[in-house]
Structure 1
Amino acid sequence: MSLRYAYNTNGMAHHRLDDALDLLGEHGYDGVALTLDHHHLDPLAPGAPAEAQRVRARLDDLGLAAVVETGARYLLDPRAKHEPTFVTPDAPGRARRLDFLRRTVDVAGVLGAETVSFWAGVPRAGVDRGAAWEWLVEGVARLAEHAAGPGVALSFEPEPGMLVETPREWERLRDAVAQAAPGTPPLLLALDSGHCIVTGDLAPDEAVRAYADRLGTVAVEDMRRGVHEHLAWGEGDMDVPAVLAALDEVGYRRLVTVELSRDSHRAHELVPRTIAYLRAAEARAADGRTEP
Structure 2
Amino acid sequence: MTDLRYAYNTNGLTSHRLSDALPFLADCGYAGVALTLDVVHLDPFADDAHRQAEAVRRRCDELGLGVVVETGARFLLDPRVKHEPTLITASAEGRARRLAYLRLACDLAEVLDAEAVSFWAGVPKPGVDRDAAWGWLVDGVRALVDSHGGRSYALAVEPEPGMLVEDCDGWARLAAEAHGTTLALDTGHCVVAGAYAPEEAVTRFAPHLGTVAVEGMRRGVHDHLPLDEGDVDLPAVLRALRDASYDRLVTLELSRDGHRAHEMVPRSMATLRKAETQGVAAA
Measured against the shorter chain, the TM-score band is over 0.9
Name the SS of the counterpart of 1:6 in structure 2: strand
Q: Is the 8 A contact 1:106 1:150 kept in 2?
A: no
- 2:147 is the alignment partner of 1:146: yes
* Contact residue 11 and residue 36 of structure 2 kept, 8 A: yes
d(CA) in 1 for partners of 2:268 and 2:168?
A: 26
How much has 1:153 moved relative to structure 2? 1.7
Question: Which aligned pairs between 1:62-77 and structure 2 lie closer than 5 A?
Answer: 62-77=63-78
Give how far 1:152 is off. Answer: 3.2
SS at the partner of 2:8? strand
1:199 partner SS: coil
Q: CA deviation at 1:103?
A: 0.4
Q: Which residue of 2 aligns with 1:39?
A: 40
Equivalent of 2:219, from 222, 225, 249?
225
In the alignment, the residues of structure 2 paired with residue 251 and residue 73 of structure 1 have an alpha-carbon distance, to the nearest angstrom, of 33
Partners in 1 of 2:148 and 2:232 — Cα distance?
A: 34
Summarize the Cα distance change of 1:84–1:113 in structure 2 as closer, same or farther, 3 Å threshold.
Answer: same
The 8 Å contact of residues 168 and 194 in structure 2, kept in 1 or not, is answered as no
Asked if 1:98 corresponds to 2:95, the answer is no
Pair 1:171–1:200, CA change in 2 (3 A)? closer
Are 2:127 and 1:133 aligned?
no
Q: Which amino acid aligns with 1:30?
A: A
Contact 1:200–1:226 (Cα < 8 Å) also in 2: no
1:133-155 superposed Cα distances (whole Å, 9 cap, x missing partner): 01111111111112136443200
Does residue 203 of the first structure (1) align with residue 204 of the second (2)? no
**Residue in 2 aligned with 1:236?**
230
Structure 1 198/247 Cα, relative in aligned 2: closer, same or farther at 3 Å? Answer: same
Quote the Cα distance in structure 2 between the aligned partners of 1:148 and 1:122: 24
* Residue pairs, 1:1-292, within 5 angstroms: 2-148=3-149, 150-178=151-179, 186-288=180-282
**Aligned partner of 1:73: which letter?**
R
Amino acid of the residue matched to residue 235 of structure 2?
A: P
CA distance in 2, matches of 1:101, 1:280: 36
- 1:22 Cα offset (Å): 1.3
Q: Number of matched residues?
A: 282
Structure 1 residues 149, 201: CA separation in 2 closer, same or farther (over 3 Å shift)? closer
Distance in 1 of aligned mates of 2:43 and 2:58 = 17
Partner Cα separation in structure 2 for residue 34 and residue 204 of structure 1: 23
**One-letter amino acid matched to 2:205:** Y
Indicate conservation of the 8 Å contact 1:147/1:153, yes or no: no
| Deviation (angstroms), 1:200 | 4.4
Stretches of structure 1 lacking an aligned partner (at least 5 in a row) = 179-185
Could you list the per-position Cα deviations for residues 205-239 of structure 1 after superposition, in whole angstroms to 9, with x for gaps in the alignment? Answer: 00000001100011000000000000013321111
Q: Normalization by structure 1: what TM-score?
A: 0.94
- Report % sequence identity: 61
SS, match of residue 287 in structure 1: helix
* Matching residue of 1:183: none
Aligned equivalents of 2:265, 2:273: Cα separation in 1 = 13
